[in-house]
Amino acid sequence: MRPWEGFDGLITVMQTHLRDYLEIEEKYGHAEEEYKKNKISTAKETLEILGRMKNPDEYTDKRRNEVTSRYPDYKTLNEEYENGGSSSGGDFIEQSKGWAGINGGNEPQEGYFEFIDGRLKLAKSLDQNETNRLLAEIVNYNIELKNAYKQANIDFEKDIDRLGQLLKENLYTWWD
């Protein structure tokens, strides 16, 4: 393990040793059958947790994708700047010739938007009831996203706790 690999390198070492252990235990393990099954299942569960922890962003990605898949028509405004930078903000959904949405930034705006003079600007909606319905849906979308991020943190913490428990209970018995 190289010093710059950090936690990821530690996970790789643990996975490698657990895979080696499983291969040997499944072929040559001589413990009583129920005890052997338990050792193998806890090692496999530990490998699953380590696999998820290898890329912590996957916790968030999974939960966020569950929400965004239910809102496929939602778009985010991406702005490109002359200096090469970019930013994204707001949530929008197409409505007639424009977009219903909430424009993020220092001074958020919500309502019906159209591109006017090359910029996304508030405009008069031809169907304000539909705009209001879409805005309520966007608020719900943002609440669901916020809850998804919270759940991703809970999932990660549960995995950390379970990994600690598995290691505490089995670290030395896996290789007895």
pLDDT: which is higher, 15 or 77:
15
Q: Is the dihedral of CA 65, 69, 71, 75 positive or negative?
A: positive
Beta partners for residue 75, in sequence order? 92
pLDDT of residue 28: 84
Residues 119-138 have a mean pLDDT of 94
Hey, which of 27-41, 52-66, 98-112, 145-159 has the most confident mean pLDDT?
145-159
Question: Where are the extended beta strands (E) located within 25-118?
Answer: 74-80, 86-95, 98-103, 109-116
pLDDT at 87 over 80: no
- Alpha-carbon distance of 150 to 146, in angstroms, equals 6
- Alpha-carbon distance of 155 to 152, in angstroms, equals 5
- Chain-centre distance for alpha carbon 51: 14
Q: Look at the pTM and tell me if it is higher than 0.85.
A: no
- CB atoms closer than 10 angstroms to residue 19: 13
Structural domain boundaries in the chain = 3-63+154-170, 72-151
pLDDT of residue 1: 46
pLDDT at 152 over 90: yes
